[in-house]
């Protein structure tokens, strides 16, 4: 990866996820009408962490947590074959506050697809967006996050890579042109 720039190291990554969890606790406790939904595939690690952290910090709280596959709602197939992930929503979102969780907000198309997919599971009272990294100047659709781990300035030739392996967690920005 050419022009590698560390946005978050392992410690910053963990602190950022904990801060996002605390913001959700602050705004939604006791979560009586709120559910968290991670967007497959890359938002799942972030949503799993946030879900586990909230459950650990507040074991008395019961709330719904699900995983949403958006494969067939995307508008960027362009003849490619995509393997779907699993949607795990064993609850209705009807009348609930939904917090969608993903790793990187770039053009907004993934979130648009997620909102389309959500409609198949009911009509939410409100939908909020929790993002680890916001590439704020690259939006193609009028979508803005409610909870942001880190906002960055980047250009179209740069890519954001989120690492969440056991031995390496963090976020880097790199030039995609060789």
75-109 pLDDT tens trace? 765 656 566 777 889 999 999 999 999 999 999 99
* Cα 19 to Cα 175: distance, rounded to the nearest angstrom: 28
Q: Tell me the pLDDT band of 156, cut-offs 50, 70 and 90.
A: confident
pLDDT tens per residue, range 19-60: 999 999 999 999 999 999 999 989 999 999 999 999 999 999
How confident is the model at residue 83, as a pLDDT?
67
Percentage of the chain with pLDDT > 90?
76
Say what the pTM is.
0.92
How, if at all, do strands 168-175 and 2-8 pair?
antiparallel
Contacts of 159 (CB under 8 A, 6+ apart): 173, 174, 175, 176
DSSP one-letter code for 121: T
Domain 11-73+85-152 grouped into CATH 3.40.50.2020: yes
First to last CA, the chain: 8
């Amino acid at each position: 990866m050419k022009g590698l720039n560390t946005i978050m190291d392992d410690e910053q990554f963990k602190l950022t996820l904990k801060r996002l969890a605390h913001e959700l606790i602050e705004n939604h406790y006791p979560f009586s009408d709120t559910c968290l939904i991670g967007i497959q595939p890359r938002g799942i690690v972030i949503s799993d962490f946030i879900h586990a952290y909230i459950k650990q910090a507040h074991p008395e709280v019961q709330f719904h947590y699900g995983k949403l596959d958006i494969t067939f709602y995307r508008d960027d197939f362009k003849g490619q074959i995509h393997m779907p992930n699993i949607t795990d929503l064993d609850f209705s979102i009807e009348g609930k506050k939904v917090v969608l969780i993903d790793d990187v907000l770039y053009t907004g198309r993934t979130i648009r697809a997620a909102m389309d997919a959500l409609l198949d599971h009911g009509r939410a009272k409100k939908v909020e967006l929790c993002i680890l990294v916001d590439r704020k100047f690259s939006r193609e659709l009028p979508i803005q996050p409610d909870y942001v781990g880190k906002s960055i300035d980047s250009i179209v030739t740069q890519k954001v890579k989120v690492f969440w392996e056991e031995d390496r967690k963090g976020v880097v920005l790199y030039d995609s042109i060789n």
